[in-house]
Amino acid sequence: MQTALILIALAALILGLAAWRIQGQARLYEVGFGRQLATTLSSKSFQLTLAGFVIFVGLWWVTVSLLKLPWFNRLPGPLEVVGEWLSPTPTFGISIYTKDYYTHIFYSTYRATAAFLLATLLGIPFGLLMGWNKKFYDYSLPLVELIRPIPPLAWVPLAILVLPGSEPAVIFVTFLVAFFVTTLNTLLGVESIDDNYFRAAKCLGASNKDILFDVVVPGALPFIFTGLQISMGASWFSLVAGEMIAAQYGLGFLIWDSYSVIAYPVIFIGMATLGIIGWASSALVRVVGRRLMAWREAELSGGARAEV
């Protein structure tokens, strides 16, 4: 059973890595997948990457499961974690076959999404307004600078007190981080727009409103999306802390609760799940950004750009 599991995990790891590499490569000409797989598997860089993973998992296994070194022996080994994660009858009640696992995922995703969307919906207009209207900028920037240095997580106690219940409090602190990141990146985006675009638009007879939609918004978009990616990461960051401190469900809660009830493999399942969801959500923002900024893709890929 154990050996089979190891072999399956290894094969999955190798194939997964290879597929990941292949989709990341620029395809110059069409080659069959089998051919590509063969080239990738035999390339030195791929073998090194594979070696990196094997060493990582191997070290984990050797220190924890094989040698049971002091300090390390308190942690679960890789096989325990993977075994528990994939087990239809998990010892500690959490695996891909249990409903609870998805309940926690659902709660975390729901909170992160709500906070992120709220922050985006409020932060982008706020940042645009700051960049577009000097008066608004003068009034709001000192306030932003006054509140921003306080780490969002320091808001948790106050948020629990003021807001009804811990659920809105957790969403609020998550929102707060994302909001500042989005606002400031949007502002930075507007400030990064070359003055000449504004001047050109005015020369061509654009009104202030035209300038907002034809210059400010598209010009700030690259920075806005950079901001949204950071904001997504920051949302997960503070969500986990919020859930550990003050929530009933969610992956952060799961991790902390598993620690309290000595269900150690579940801690690792929770961490890995957070990593996967966090990565996927950033990737999603990136894809949307690319879709919206076709002009930028065209520019970066060069086209017929002959001279400077």
Partner 1 sequence: MNANNSAPVCRAADGALSVRDVTKIYDPEGVHVVALEHCSLEIAAGEFVAVVGPSGCGKSTLLNIMAGFDYVTHGEILLDGAPLATPDTRPRPGSDRVVVFQQGALFPWKTVLENVTYGPVVQKQLDQSAAETKAREMLARVGLSNIEKSYPGQLSSGMQRRVEIIRALINDPKVLLLDEPFRAMDTVTKSASHEYLLELYNATGKTIFFITHDLEEAIFLADKVAVMTTRPGHIKLAISVDLPRPRNYRMLASQEFLRLKSQLVEAVHEEAVKAFQAGEREMA
Partner 2 sequence: MAVMRKASLATRINQKLASKSFWRGVTAVIGFFGLWQVSSMGALPFMSAIPTPVEVAQAFWKLLFEPKYWAGWRDSGQRVFFGFAAAQILGIPLGLGTGWKRNFNHLTFPVFELLRPIPPLAWVPVSILFWPTNELSIAFITFIGAFFTIVVNVLGGVGSIKKELVYSAISFGASPSQVFWRVVLPATIPSIATGMMVGIGITWNVVIAAEMIAGNTGLGRLTWEAYLAGYTPGIIVGMISIGLAGYVSSGLVKWVSELLMPWKRIF
User: Per rule CB under 8 A, is residue 259 in the interface with partner 2?
Assistant: yes
State which of residues 28, 48, 204, 280 lies at the interface with partner 1 (CB under 8 A).
204
Residue 247 is inside which H or E element, if any? Answer: none
State which of residues 27, 207, 260, 262 lies at the interface with partner 1 (CB under 8 A).
207
Q: Say how many Å lie between the first and final Cα of the chain, rounded.
A: 63
3-state secondary structure 44-109: HHHHHHHHHHHHHHHHHHHHHHHCCCCCHHHCCCHHHHHHHHHCCCCCCCCCCCCHHHHHHHHHHH
CB of 137 to partner 1, least distance (A): 18
CB of 204 to partner 1, least distance (A): 4
Interface with partner 1 by CB under 8 A: which range of 13-21, 128-136, 164-172, 200-208? 200-208
Count of CB atoms situated within 10 Å of the CB of 205: 7
Task: List the one residue out of 213, 203, 237 whose CA is nearest residue 108.
Answer: 237
CB of 275 to partner 2, least distance (A): 4
Amino acid identity, residue 57? V
Q: Which one-letter DSSP state was computed for residue 214?
A: I
Give Cβ neighbours of residue 281 (< 8 Å, ≥ 6 apart).
Answer: 112, 232, 236
User: Per rule CB under 8 A, is residue 196 in the interface with partner 1?
Assistant: yes
> x/- binding map, residues 158-197, to partner 2, per CB under 8 A?
x-xxx-----------------------------------
User: Per rule CB under 8 A, is residue 294 in the interface with partner 1?
Assistant: yes
Task: List the one residue out of 110, 250, 68 whose CA is nearest residue 258.
Answer: 250
User: Per rule CB under 8 A, is residue 298 in the interface with partner 1?
Assistant: yes
Nearer to partner 1 by C-beta: 35 or 199?
199
Nearer to partner 1 by C-beta: 174 or 185?
185
Tokens of 45: 């860089």
Which of partner 1, partner 2, none has residue 139 at its interface (CB below 5 to 8 Å by kind)?
Answer: partner 2
Residues forming the site for partner 1 (CB under 8 A): 194, 196-197, 199-207, 210, 214-215, 218-219, 221, 293-296, 298-300, 302-308
